[in-house]
Structure formats: structure tokens, C-alpha cells
Chains A and B, each alone.
Chain A
Amino acid sequence: EAQVTQNPRYLITVTGKKLTVTCSQNMNHEYMSWYRQDPGLGLRQIYYSMNVEVTDKGDVPEGYKVSRKEKRNFPLILESPSPNQTSLYFCASSPTPQGAGIQYFGAGTRLSVL
């Protein structure tokens, strides 16, 4: 089954404790992306990747890192989480950045930083 898998689904952590949210897709998609969803703001892009070893900042990259060592995986790293990073995070992938580029979304990771 074609899917985007995020882990964990829920995470509560404390300020400053490094964490990683994993994202994996099994569709051989070139394009992957991370968004955060906050009430009243919709979804905003954090980072994206056009292909392996190619990553770039989205609209709200501060406090986040990503890597794309393999095509299927695109982890989101919070080196020193802060309470303003409490949010709902979504990973997405699509075949290419161009064209209809339908993006498939993971189920989301709800993060609370205390």
C-alpha cells in the first residue's frame, strides 16, 4: 500500500532535549516536505527536498534541521526544542515538484514541548 509513515504519532518532551521525527515513503517519490499546522494559520512549510542530498528552507525553518540521505526517508530534527515548536507536524511526498504533483500526507505527529 502506497503511504507516508511518520513516527511517533504523539510526543511530549521538555525544552532543549533533542528529538527526531521520522518520515518514510514507499512510492519512490522525488519530492518530500515537512509542514507544521497551527490553529488559524493553516499549514506552513518548514523544509523541503527535491531529491536525495538536495534540501532547502521553507517558510518557517528556524529551529529545525532535515536530511535526505536516501530517497525514501526525510527525518525532521529539532536540536533544542522550545515551547513555540509545540504543533502538529505533517510529512508529505509527491512524485516531482512540478506538474499536478499531488502531495500525499502522513497521519501527523503531535508534538508538545514543555
Chain B
Amino acid sequence: GEDVEQSLFLSVREGDSSVINCTYTDSSSTYLYWYKQEPGAGLQLLTYIFSNMDMKQDQRLTVLLNKKDKHLSLRIADTQTGDSAIYFCAERASNTGKLIFGQGTTLQVKP
């Protein structure tokens, strides 16, 4: 069935790069997403990638997609303390439009 898996926690130092990984199972997903949730807030769409792309870059964010291995990653360059949040990977079910979320990765950025 549909499933999205992420590691639960990542800690980095300010200025380093962060890489958050995600695996998914639904090979028919055409779009994959990264959302950010800051404490006490809703979900903010960071970026998304179409399944026929391998990479997408948007300022400090780089998304890599390995469709063969069903692996998605989000790289944040020059990580700042303001990047501390929970990051959710999600795929969209093509028939219902449902977003299938991973458990979320808590990113802790140490000064």
C-alpha cells in the first residue's frame, strides 16, 4: 500500500548543510512534496518536484529524486537556526488527491 518513511530526527550545526531523506512506495505518484512545520504553526509548502525530474533547486533548497529507488531527499545549504522545524515529505495519491505524509523529521540547528 501507500507508505512514506522518514527518519525522525536530525541535528546539524549552523552553517552546515542538512540532508533529510525520505522513501515512498507509490510509484504512480506524479508529484512529491516537502512541507515545513514550525512550532505551533500549520504546514508551509517548501517545494515540490514532478516525478520526471531528477533534481530541483530553489535558492538554498535542493531536492533530489531517485525514482528507481523511490528515494527523495531535501538538502538545505548553509542551515540557519530559523530552519529548525519539522520537515514532512509527502506524495500525492493520483486518484483521491490525498497527500500521504511521512512521520516528519525534526531538524535541530545548533548555533
Chain A positions near chain B (C-beta within 8 angstroms): 31, 33, 35, 40-45, 48, 50, 56, 58-59, 90, 92, 94, 96-108
Which residues of chain B have C-beta atoms less than 8 A from A107's C-beta? 41-42
Q: Are A101 and B4 in contact (CB under 8 A)?
A: no
Number of interface residues of B (CB under 8 A): 23
Q: Are B4 and A31 in contact (CB under 8 A)?
A: no
A20 to chain B minimum Cβ distance, whole angstroms, is 19
Report B78-103 CB contacts with A as 1/0, cut-off 8 Å.
Answer: 00000000001000101011110111
Chain B positions near chain A (C-beta within 8 angstroms): 4, 8, 31, 33, 35, 41-45, 48, 50, 88, 92, 94, 96-99, 101-104
A86 to chain B minimum Cβ distance, whole angstroms, is 17
Give A53 to B41 CA distance when docked, in angstroms. 30
Tell me the nearest residue of chain A to B94, going by C-beta: A98
Which residues of chain A have C-beta atoms less than 8 A from B96's C-beta? 48, 56, 58, 97
Q: Are A58 and B98 in contact (CB under 8 A)?
A: yes
Q: List 15 A-B contacts (CB under 8 A).
A: A33-B98, A40-B8, A40-B103, A42-B88, A42-B103, A42-B104, A48-B96, A48-B97, A56-B96, A102-B48, A103-B45, A105-B42, A106-B42, A108-B41, A108-B42
The listed residue (B31, B48, B101) touching A43 by CB distance below 8 A is B101
Contact flag A42-B4 (CB < 8 Å), given A102-B48, A108-B42: yes
Q: Are A31 and B97 in contact (CB under 8 A)?
A: yes
Which residues of chain B have C-beta atoms less than 8 A from A96's C-beta? 97
Q: Are A101 and B42 in contact (CB under 8 A)?
A: no
Give A41 to B103 CA distance when docked, in angstroms. 5
Give A41 to B8 CA distance when docked, in angstroms. 10
